[in-house]
Each structure stands twice: as structure tokens, then as C-alpha cells.
Structure 1
Amino acid sequence: MMHLNPSQPSAPALVTARRSCHRIAVACVAAWVLGLPVPVLAQTPNPKEIVTAFYEMAFVKGQAREAILKYISPSTYIQHNPMVPDGRDAALAVLPDIMAKTGMRAEIKRVIAEGDLVVVHSRAAVPGRPEVPALAVVDIFRVKEGLIVEHWDVIQEVPKSAANANTMF
């Protein structure tokens, strides 16, 4: 049998996949009938869910320390912000302190994901810096094996007046 679309699986591959699914279903039903524990296929959150949860906890709720410990890899954390060293310990030493001193909180405007990269566009309020009305922030995160392993950011002060009627958000 000739396939015109190579991205579609062949008939034998579909039969094999169906047999595998059938075997799993039969095994689960049999375990349930016999009163045995039924295996649950764990669903790993996708990178967008992981980064959004991290951002909500750290920057929206102000629980930076807890968020770093939960969502940033303890073994690999590459930091592209030139003011912060690499590593989760460096993030723990810097971010919670900044958040506490300035009272900074963020409002997520959009989250965009492609593969293992996630971009968060946010508006940050910094009550501890009254000369700065707000910050427009774009954070880029890379996620590997369910943890954040790399970070880039671009931060710009929101001006008091603009040359156009558009907002930065």
C-alpha cells in the first residue's frame, strides 16, 4: 500500500497502536474488577502551565521564595539578566529581597509558548519607587523536565506620557 502523505501513520502502525491501547484498557479494567490499584498515567504540566504558575506565585501573589523553590531547577538555572548570577541560589538571594523592599507586584497581560520556551508580558507596579509609574516587562523562560532552567528579561519603565495613544500592554 502506498501512502501519499508521509506524515500519516501506515495501516500496520495504526493497528499496532490500537492493540497497545486495547491492552492498556483491558489491563486497567481487569485491575479494577480484581480490586487492584489502577495505574494512573501522570500528566506532566506543559511549560506554559509551569511558567504561569511560577509567575502567579512569585510576582502576582508576591511569594517569590516559595515559587523559586517549587519551579526553578536546583541544578541548572541559566540567568541572562546581567545583574543576576546563574543558579537558583542566586535567584533566592536577589528576588525575594527586591520584592519585599519595593512591594513590586505584576499583572500578567499575556503568556505565549512555543515548545519549551514561554514568554510572559506583564505590567509591574513598584510602590517602593514612586518615581516609576510602572514597568513593562517581558520575561522569557525555558522549561526542561517540568522545571524552569533558563531566563531572559527585558524591562522598560512606562513613561508618564507617550507620543501615541497606544499603551505598552
Structure 2
Amino acid sequence: MSRTTQEEANLALVLDMFAQVLNPMDSAAADRFLAADYIQHNQSVEPGLAPFKAFLDMIREQTPDAVHDVKRAFVDGDHVTVHYHVRRWPDDPGWAVIDIFRVEDGKIAEHWDVMQDVIEGGPNPNSPF
């Protein structure tokens, strides 16, 4: 299946946001990627761009070695889905996370996520990735 030029741009925007905002936890860079009226659906973060940036700063302070290791990404129109592994510190089994982003006018306008603990030695031998 081929992607449209707009889908390619939407996918690039989200992957660039991971590289320039989430992995370095650079809240100042968020303005380049997220809309001013950004809608947040994560129940642990207050709505809006400013609370997201404050949350990112808090996470950076608490877990400065955290990484967001993208395993796969999908795009469908104005929605981009990213499946990735978050590790907060070295040797952390971390979380398996799926983010869904809606892109509008070249910025991330809306975000949903789901996450689960990565269980080492659990009953299922299949990786969550």
C-alpha cells in the first residue's frame, strides 16, 4: 500500500518529534511539533501544550536516561500510530506503548496512548514488540 505525500509528511512529523522531543526530553522543542491547542487524552497529564511540556520536564528530571525505542509506525490519513519501548533507566524492562497522534495543519493536534508493563519471565514467551 502506498502512502500519500501528506501521510509521508505526517509520519515524518511524528517520528521527528520522537527524535527531537521525546528521546532528548526537550520540552522547548515541543512547540515545533505540537499545536498550540494540543488535545491530550492521557489521563495522567493535564490537557494542553503547557502541561505536556511541564510533564516532560518532570520526567526528564526523574529519569534522565529514559529512551523511547520506536519499533514500528503506521500512518492512515491524519493519524499516526507508533509502537515503542520505553525504558526509564538502564536495565529497566520498561513499558510497551502505543501512541496515536492526529495531525492537523502540519502539527500534532491530538494524542492518545495505551501502555503495559514489559514482563520478564512471564508465562507468554512472545515479546510485546
Q: Which TM-score band (shorter chain)? A: 0.7 to 0.9
Q: Which residue type is aligned with residue 51 of structure 1?
A: V
Once the two structures are superposed, the pairs formed by residues 6-155 of structure 1 within 5 Å of their partners are 46-60=9-23, 62-74=24-36, 76-103=37-64, 104-127=66-89, 132-155=92-115
| Corresponding position of 1:158 | 118
Deviation for aligned residue 1:64: 2.7
8 Å CA contact retained: 2:93, 2:118 = yes
Identity %: 33
State the Cα RMSD in Å: 2.0
Which protein shows a greater Rg?
A: 1
8 Å CA contact retained: 1:112, 1:119 = yes
The count of aligned residue pairs is 123
Return the alpha-carbon distance in structure 2 between the equivalents of residues 64 and 151 of structure 1: 18
Bigger fraction of residues in strand: 2
Q: Which residue type is aligned with residue 103 of structure 2?
A: V
Bigger fraction of residues in helix: 1
Runs of 4+ residues deviating >4 angstroms: none
In structure 2, runs of 5+ residues without a counterpart are none
Return the alpha-carbon distance in structure 1 between the equivalents of residues 99 and 124 of structure 2: 25
Q: TM-score, normalised by structure 1?
A: 0.67
Higher relative contact order by CA 8 Å / sep ≥ 6: 1 or 2?
A: 2
Return the alpha-carbon distance in structure 2 between the equivalents of residues 139 and 133 of structure 1: 19
